[in-house]
Structure formats: C-alpha cells, structure tokens
Amino acid sequence: MPASRKPAARSAGCATREAAGLLKLGGWAAFLALVAASVWVVGPDPARLAAGLPRLAGWLATAWPPDFSNPGDIARRAAETVGIATLGTLLAAILAAPIALLAARPVTRAALLRQPARGALDALRGVDGFVFALIFVAAVGLGPFAGMIGVALHSAGSLGKLWSEAFEAADPRTAEAILAVGGTRLQVARLALIPQTLPETAGALFYVWEFNIRASTVLGLVGAGGIGQELKNAVDLLDFNRLFAILLVVVGLTLAADRISAALRRSLA
C-alpha cells in the first residue's frame, strides 16, 4: 500500500471504532433511560411489600390442608385446560404453516409478499392469548371454545416466527439444486425445507404446546374455560384450602407437560 494511503486507512479505522463506541454508548444510555422510566412508572415500594408479606403468610397458613372435595369438578376443568392447549396448538400449526413459508426468504423472494407475512406473524405474536380469549368470549360466549381460539391465534404468531427462522437457516444447497433443474419455490419448501427442518419445527411445536398448557391455566379468569375458572372461584370466595388444591393440580399439569414435551423433543434428536 502506498505511504499516502496508510494514514487515510488508519483514519478510517479510527473513525469506524469511534462510531462503534458511540453506538454502544448510546445503546447503554437508552437502556438505562428505559430502566429509569420503568421505575418511575411502576413505582416499586419495598415498604408495601414488607407490610403485605405477613398477610400473605397468614393466608398460606390457613391453606393447609388442600381441599380436594368435588374432585370431578377439578378433573373436568383440568381436562378443559389440556384440551384448550392441545386443540389450540394444532389449530395454530395449521394457521402458521402457510404464513411461515411466505415469511421465509428461500420460499418467497418478493419482499412485497414476505414483509406482510412477517408483519402478520408479529401482530399475532404481539397480542397475548389471554387478550384474544377475552375478545372471543365476547364474540362466541363463555367456555373453552373461546379459550382455544385465543391460544391458537397467539401461538400461530409464535410458531410461524420460529418456523420461518428455521426455514431460513436451512442448508441452501438442496434448494439451489431443485431450482437449478427447474423446480418451483413450492417444491423447494416441500422437498427441501420441510424435511430438512423437521426436527426443529416439530420441537418448536412441542415446546409451544407445553407453554400453552401453562398459559391455559389462567384463561378461566376471563370465562374462557379451563382450571382457571376454579381458580377464580376460589379466590373470589377467599377459599385458600381450595386454592391450594387447584395450584397443586396446575403444578402437576405443568410438570407432566414439561416431561412429555421433553421426551418428544428427544425422540426427534
């Protein structure tokens, strides 16, 4: 390199490092500002927590032994929770699959199609299933059907996001070979992307199902069925023995779903 170019190259390198340093500093400043604003908005009060803990301890002391009377009601609500999560996850997979393919660059090269698909997934993912369930309780009435729709819509956004990222991370050589011999983008998806990413996409499906088991336990708070309905009734009546029993069932459902999901994911490895 000529001597006259060396100082220019060093200057450019210094400018780049300075810009990166300023960007990093700006990022930290924005983060600290966000934390400060959050503290101001939320107003954490350790004194209120300290005053409330003895009250909570008193409630917990009265919660023993757990009240498992009318076990049929608890079992029915627990079955509703599992049904909401299972059917909601299956419906989510049906909704997410075509949108995920549209959102994946190896399948959809046109940004005019790909970006709206990604926007749709972000919109579904951005609204919690609890909110969707609340809306559909007003639309279709009380019960687990509204809860299933709420779970499905939110989970479709999450699944579609995970699946589209898995498709984009797939080895491109198979897709390029299919295109080289005159194959279509649909054939790329069917013959290359889906078979290649099946462990990742199926694993994501099982993980979302496991998450939905946990999420569905509170849908009853808005009348969308599940064991959350029993939970709400116990809280409204200040029946802490019943509340403790329901919480034990919720923990049992969560642990069972976690073990089943983990076993299914291991079977795909």
Please state the pTM of the whole predicted model. Answer: 0.76
Q: Report whether 216 contacts 147 (CB < 8 A).
A: yes
Residue 24 token pair: 């990093």
**Residues in CB range of 207: below 8 A, 6 or more apart:** 261, 265
Looking at residue 207, its pLDDT comes to 86
CA 10 vs CA 5, 7, 16, 51, 170: distances in Å? 9, 5, 10, 61, 39
pLDDT in tens, the chain (269 residues): 455 555 555 555 566 777 777 778 888 888 999 999 988 888 887 888 887 788 877 777 777 877 777 778 888 888 888 888 899 999 999 999 888 888 888 777 777 888 888 888 889 988 888 888 888 888 888 788 888 898 899 999 989 999 988 888 877 777 778 777 777 777 777 777 788 887 888 888 988 888 888 888 888 777 777 787 888 888 778 788 888 888 888 888 888 888 887 787 777 66
Go through the domains of the chain in sequence order and give each one's CATH number. Answer: 73-268 (1.10.3720.10)
Looking at residue 89, its pLDDT comes to 92
CA 108 vs CA 94, 103, 161, 186, 197: distances in Å? 19, 7, 15, 9, 17
Residue 219 token pair: 């849908």
Give residue 116's region: left, alpha or beta (phi > 0; psi -120 to 50).
Answer: alpha
Looking at residue 90, its pLDDT comes to 92
Looking at residue 94, its pLDDT comes to 92
